[in-house]
Structure 1
Amino acid sequence: MKCIIIDDEPIARKGMKRLVDSRNELELLASFGNAETAEEFLEDNDVDLIFLDIKMPEIKGIEFAGRIPRKCLVIFTTAYSEYALDSYEVEAIDYLVKPIDPARFNRAVDKAISYHALLDSASVSAGEPAVGVADHIIVKADRRYVKINLDDIVYIEGLKDYVIIHLPEKRVVTRLTLKGIEEVIPASGFIRVNKSYIVSRDRIDSFDSNDVFIGDTEISFGASYREAVLSSLLGK
């Protein structure tokens, strides 16, 4: 995967470069101290993944992420954990809190590689509305209509122009919006926890005031969703 680093701190860029160089699957094209220069680079170069600092002078990482090509995946880097929730607002696939732990970095890169391959290989035609029928939904994926039992859905993720439906043994990619999916699944069985995720209530193993846990997956509540989500999960 071709990647770039954007961070206004030279030491942070150096540390991130060292991490990137440790992964043979990543090809570092360039590093930038500001978003403006990086934006010019993106106009003439294909980039698959951006490691993007959230808090920068001039253009903030969140603002910049909304302007990059749709095909670019983003992993946010931040020294402030409270900014992590903002990553869901622009469909970043992960965020890393500085100082970045190498093991945590590798998990984020593994996810990026997996998602890049998934989206690159998916034969997704123009979007068609999902259809909700009793105990299942039907979506268009890989040039065919796919029946998905509601009980099999673990969680649903919005990413760029796609929706990824996570099932126990596979993932189904379809060109839809989360809103479109939300309209055909029962609210009694699913709950929207942030801008990018809908989770199955039955699949939730535990939760706290900030996150829901499904197996090894941790999904944070969006700030504007937290109160409603907690009230719903606690039966209030």
Structure 2
Amino acid sequence: MVDDDPMSVQIVRTCIGNTPFLEASAACSSAIEATELLRTQAFDVLFLDVEMPLMSGLDLLRTLPDPPQVVLITSSQSYAVQAFEFAVADYLLKPLSYPRFLQAAQKVLETITSQRAALSEADQLPTGNTEFTFVKVDNKLVRVDFADVLYVEALGDYVHLVTSRSKLIVYSTMRAIEEKFPPQRFVRVHRSFIINLDYMQALEDNSLLIKDKYIPIGQTYLRGLLQRLNKL
């Protein structure tokens, strides 16, 4: 829980206490305090206020390369579009009601359960092959040759594997993609993008070009990307 209002924190804590599958692990009174906690500890879900001094909840999300499931809690509807851009699990308005909180919590639980099941299936597939992998698409396993993948884009609870011939929608996480795809060929350049270095055509300012797609580069990934490039 991250909120600068102690009363709001207590309300969320009470809602968590009434939800059997949730446990309150930590509470922070500012986004700055939460930054260090999220860097050193793993959490399944983050209940996050938007409007806080010095650093907003959305500012906090921009600093997290691989955030947990996020439920935004705010008194204003004006942040809904930005919440969608961050692919948050849900968006709750204050004053908070328990039925609406429970609905959001159940949505998070379903997503996490599905992600873990998908990762478990992936772990059972043969590993160590640097030429191809199999991904689950519409209840069937589809072969994907790494040489054909242009980039991977995170979209909500799914990833899009964009190849030279098609776009596959796969239920997975970016972390799982990083673990399964050969690191000598693929590099993460943004919280929402992993690229195939073989297809990178140009880099300018904070974006790069693959085919006709401009892909943003996150500041936390720029140095690592530059180190991978064979520059004159």
Which bracket does the TM-score occupy, shorter chain normalised?
Answer: 0.5 to 0.7
Paired residue for 1:16? 12
- Pairwise CA RMSD: 2.8
- SS of residue matched to 2:78: helix
Equivalent residues of 1:78, 1:84 under 8 A apart: no
Paired residue for 2:61? 65
Distance 1:160 1:64, change over 3 A: farther
Paired residue for 2:214? none
- SS of residue matched to 1:30: coil
* CA shift for structure 1 position 55: 1.0
Question: Matches of residues 165-184 of structure 1 in structure 2 within 5 Å?
Answer: 173-174=171-172
* CA shift for structure 1 position 99: 0.4
Distance 1:162 1:47 in 2: 21
Stretches of structure 2 that go unaligned for 5 or more consecutive residues are 123-133, 144-153, 161-168, 175-191, 193-232
Distance 1:115 1:47 in 2: 14
Residue 48 of structure 2 corresponds to residue 55 of structure 1 = no
Q: Deviations over 1:100-154 (max 9, x none)?
A: 12111111000000001111211376xxxxxxxxxxxxx93278129xxxxxxxx
- SS of residue matched to 2:95: coil
Paired residue for 1:140? 135
Paired residue for 1:108? 104
**In structure 2, which of residues 159, 164, 173 is the aligned counterpart of residue 162 of structure 1?**
159
Equivalent residues of 1:71, 1:160 under 8 A apart: no
Stretches of structure 1 that go unaligned for 5 or more consecutive residues are 126-138, 147-156, 164-170, 177-195, 197-236
**In structure 1, which of residues 33, 41, 45 is the aligned counterpart of residue 41 of structure 2?**
45
Q: Deviations over 1:4-63 (max 9, x none)?
A: x00011111111111111112111111111011111112221111000001111111112
Question: Quick one: which amino acid aligns to residue 173 of structure 1?
Answer: Y
Question: Quick one: which amino acid aligns to residue 141 of structure 2?
Answer: R
* CA shift for structure 1 position 175: 6.3
Distance 1:161 1:58, change over 3 A: farther
- SS of residue matched to 1:32: coil
* CA shift for structure 1 position 89: 1.3
- SS of residue matched to 2:26: strand
Paired residue for 1:77? 73
Identity of aligned residues (%): 24
Distance 1:161 1:68, change over 3 A: farther
Question: Quick one: which amino acid aligns to residue 159 of structure 2?
Answer: Y
Equivalent residues of 1:141, 1:174 under 8 A apart: no
Question: Quick one: which amino acid aligns to residue 158 of structure 1?
Answer: L
Paired residue for 2:202? none
Distance 1:94 1:32, change over 3 A: same
Distance 2:98 2:34 in 1: 25
Distance 2:45 2:34 in 1: 13
Question: Quick one: which amino acid aligns to residue 109 of structure 1?
Answer: A
Q: Greater helix percent: which structure?
A: 2
- SS of residue matched to 2:24: strand
Distance 2:157 2:108 in 1: 13
- Please, what TM-score do these two structures have when normalized by structure 2? 0.55
Distance 1:71 1:81, change over 3 A: closer
